[in-house]
Amino acid sequence: MSKNYFLAVATLMGTIIGVGLFAIPFAINKSGIIPLLIYMLGLAVIQYFLHLIFAEVILSTKEKHRLPGFVEKYVNKKWKNLTLLVDVTGAYSSSLAYIIIGGLFLHQLLNPYFSGSIFLYSTILFGLVVLITFFDIKTIAGTELILTPLLVIAIGLIAWRGFGHIQLTNYSLLEWKNVLLPYGPIFFAVGGGAAIPEVCRLLAFEKEKIKSAILWGTFIPAALMLIFVLVILGITGASISPDTLSSLSLILNDGVVTFSLIFGLFAIFTSYIVIAQATEEIYQWDYKLNNKLSWFLSCFIPYFLYLFGWTNLTKVISFTGAVTGGLAGIILIWLVFKVKAKPDQVSVIKNKLTKPMAYFLSLLFVLGLIYEVWAILKYT
């Protein structure tokens, strides 16, 4: 396998392994282990399929686009603008989640030495991402290749040091009243669509390997997240915090948590950059805005939302996964039929998507969306 193949796998893995990893345990503590197993497997398969569909759309088209641009090319401009609303809402919500939890982690790591508020550390994280995207620094693929082994080490260290603290009584099998709660967070956590154009670019001269890279890049993170959640809940149980590592530090108060915080920050930081750059490309590629305006729109709107007090991590992630993720999935599923009917060029990836399957997935996404909107209204 070539270096670019491993870079492609690492890029997709790094995009997936982000804030969602640290939000799942809190939801699973309320719903039980059985929903974790069902959702993690089922939604990883669905996201893998969506990743392949997006890759087919990209490989069937000569020009560079993000999802709104593809919709304009193969459908019409009205649907393009609707897709823009869905796509940037999801991207802004993701970036907001990174600002929230990144500030928490940075605060836990540095506050004992330098003091300062969580708001200050969230702003520092935001400032670093703003600078990197402004200067268009493309180092994410190589960074992810280093971070991926660190993820395995971090989970292994937590499991090793926390093994004596794992108690079977900390696990709940099923809580029916909260059985739908993990849908949004897990759907968000296993999604890596923002990285698919970069995966295709890295393997432009090895297109036959794209499907394999997407397979490993999707399912390895899902397996690691499953292990992570089981270990964390076994250690913390009902005392789990919304960001996970805060509660873990009360039990494993040593270098393992510090290492995990550092890893968590890098995982969040790199995913945040991928999302910010992908959003910038929507404005540049699909709306032909200049670089500085695209940069401003992609970076600063999520921070403004943070300033306005949108700081509930669980709600932000659930909304992003179930609502914007579901809508984007529906758009992508029906877009590919248009692409198959009149492609610019032959794609090496040809998904066997039938109309009954498309209706089933669309219904699933709509039901998830309805539940999430209902849950937000009920608990607000």
CATH number at residue 263: 1.20.1740.10
pLDDT tens for each residue of 12-39? 998 898 878 888 998 899 999 999 999 9
Q: Which residue has the higher pLDDT, 155 or 70?
A: 70
Of the candidates 227, 268, 22, 309, which has an alpha carbon nearest to the alpha carbon of residue 140? 268
pLDDT tens for each residue of 87-97? 999 999 999 99
Looking at residues 67-74, what average pLDDT do you find? 95
Q: Model confidence at 320, in pLDDT bands (50, 70, 90)?
A: confident
**C-alpha angle 370-374-377 in degrees, rounded to nearest 5:** 145
In contact, 231 and 40? CB cutoff 8 Å: no
This model's pTM is above 0.85:
yes
Q: Is the pLDDT of residue 125 over 80?
A: yes
Q: Model confidence at 166, in pLDDT bands (50, 70, 90)?
A: confident
In contact, 120 and 192? CB cutoff 8 Å: no
Q: Is the pLDDT of residue 133 over 80?
A: yes
Residue type, 254: D
Looking at residues 298-302, what average pLDDT do you find? 95
Using CA atoms, how far apart are residues 284 and 290, in angstroms rounded to an integer?
A: 6
Looking at residues 252-271, what average pLDDT do you find? 79
In contact, 8 and 202? CB cutoff 8 Å: yes
Using CA atoms, how far apart are residues 379 and 125, in angstroms rounded to an integer?
A: 30
Q: Is the pLDDT of residue 351 over 60?
A: yes
Burial of 288 (C-beta count, 10 Å sphere; 0-12/13-18/19+): exposed
| 367 token code pair | 């039901």
Per-residue H/E/C for the chain: CCHHHHHHHHHHHHHHCCHHHHHHHHHHHHHCHHHHHHHHHHHHHHHHHHHHHHHHHHHCCCCCCCHHHHHHHHCCHHHHHHHHHHHHHHHHHHHHHHHHHHHHHHHHHHHHHHCCCHHHHHHHHHHHHHHHHHCCCCCHHHHHHHHHHHHHHHHHHHHHHHHHHCCHHHCCCCCHHHCCCCHHHHHHHCCCHHHHHHHHHHCCCCHHHHHHHHHHHHHHHHHHHHHHHHHHHHHHHHHCCCCCHHHHHHHCCCHHHHHHHHHHHHHHHHHHHHHHHHHHHHHHHHCCCCHHHHHHHHHHHHHHHHHCCCCCHHHHHHHHHHHHHHHHHHHHHHHHHHHHHCCCCCCCCCCCCCHHHHHHHHHHHHHHHHHHHHHHHHHC
Domains held by the chain: number = 1
pLDDT given at position 141: 59
pLDDT given at position 267: 81
In contact, 230 and 31? CB cutoff 8 Å: no
Of the candidates 192, 218, 214, 189, which has an alpha carbon nearest to the alpha carbon of residue 202? 214
Using CA atoms, how far apart are residues 333 and 336, in angstroms rounded to an integer?
A: 6
The range of the structural domain enclosing residue 37 comes to: 3-379
Q: Is the pLDDT of residue 282 over 90?
A: yes
